[in-house]
Amino acid sequence: MQLDRRRALDAFAAYAARYNDKDPKVRLKIDHTYRVAALCGRIARAQGLDAPGIDLAWLCGLLHDVGRFEQLRRYGTFNDAASIDHAACSVQVLFDEGHIRDYLPDPDQDALLRTAVACHSAYRLPGGLDARTLLYCNILRDADKIDILRVNVETPLEEIYNVTTAELRAAAITPAVGEAFYAHHAVLRSLKRTPADNVVGHMSLVYELVFAESRRIVRQQGWLDRLMDFSTGNPATARTLADMRDHMHAWLAANA
């Protein structure tokens, strides 16, 4: 695959320019996209992929969230449960509307790219994927999870979860969410009942990281630690979070 990164970047910038980049939510997704693309490249390089393979991973990151802009325009939210599946919307924009050719003239990688974009936010990948497609799906999913930690620190949680500060600070952690955390897997959306559950849900994404390089990046960046230092006024939540911080630190040390 011959990828012209400049062409791909220009195509993404031209598409995003159709939306109001003065809107903090639009800007958030633009910045998130560039960071995820860079992380995909870093993780791919650590797996020993050659230059075209690194380029393909980078492109997966650049494409993965193009549907977010239409989601926001149509529904005013990034909450999939309250609107549409943003990954499916990304597939529609890229492949049903044909925008993939703005990025890459050669269709040879379309099937892999379509699968990676479609599955990047799924709770679990579908079975039956070939080894190469699975590799790129996992690279993209790891990169996206890593940067979600950053987004949840840099963006006020009240804005992300559409709650007041009082509601956020008073929130309890649902027992089923705590059980999922200690089972070392991502928390199903259906289990989350409170804003604090969302914080724990994002912390638990770290358990799903496939590559050692991804876990190394999390430790280096420090966004997980800042997220786990979530300020709560609920004493029970504070105690639970303190225990979860200790547990996560131990797990990361054991899975370096």
Are 145 and 208 in contact by the 8 Å Cβ rule? The answer is: yes
The amino acid present at 4, given as its one-letter code, is D
d(CA 65, CA 180): 27
Please report where in the chains the tokens 């230092």 appear, as a residue: 229
Q: What is the pLDDT of residues 98-119, one digit of tens each?
A: 999 999 999 999 999 999 999 9
**Is the pLDDT assigned to residue 2 strictly greater than 90?**
no
Q: Write down the pLDDT at residue 22.
A: 86
Q: Write down the pLDDT at residue 1.
A: 76
Are 91 and 70 in contact by the 8 Å Cβ rule? The answer is: no
Q: Give the pair of three-digit tokens for residue 145.
A: 């999870």
Q: What is the pLDDT of residues 173-226, one digit of tens each?
A: 999 999 999 999 999 989 999 999 999 999 999 999 999 999 999 999 999 999
3-state secondary structure labels for all residues of the chain: CCCCHHHHHHHHHHHHCCCCCCCHHHHHHHHHHHHHHHHHHHHHHHCCCCHHHHHHHHHHHHHCCCHHHHHHHHHCCCCHHHCCCHHHHHHHHHHHCCCHHHHCCCHHHHHHHHHHHHHCCCCCCCCCCCHHHHHHHHHHHHHHHHHHHHHHHHCCHHHHHCCCHHHHHHCCCCHHHHHHHHCCCCCCHHHCCCHHHHHHHHHHHHHHCCCHHHHHHHHHHCHHHHHHCCCCCCHHHHHHHHHHHHHHHHHHHHCC
**Is the pLDDT assigned to residue 240 strictly greater than 80?**
yes
Q: Write down the pLDDT at residue 66.
A: 98
- Write the CB contacts of 244 (distance below 8 Å, at least 6 apart in sequence): 178, 181, 200, 203, 228
- Write the CB contacts of 203 (distance below 8 Å, at least 6 apart in sequence): 181, 224, 227, 228, 244, 248
Q: What is the pLDDT of residues 58-71, one digit of tens each?
A: 999 999 999 999 99
d(CA 23, CA 73): 11
Q: Give the pair of three-digit tokens for residue 172.
A: 């309890």
Give the chain's length: 256
Q: What is the pTM of this model?
A: 0.94
What is the rounded average pLDDT for all residues in the chain? 95
Q: What is the pLDDT of residues 130-172, one digit of tens each?
A: 999 999 999 999 999 999 999 999 988 888 777 899 999 999 9
Q: Write down the pLDDT at residue 184.
A: 97
Q: Write down the pLDDT at residue 161.
A: 79
d(CA 245, CA 225): 8
**Is the pLDDT assigned to residue 78 strictly greater than 90?**
no
Q: Write down the pLDDT at residue 115.
A: 98
Count of other CB atoms within 10 angstroms of residue 16: 18
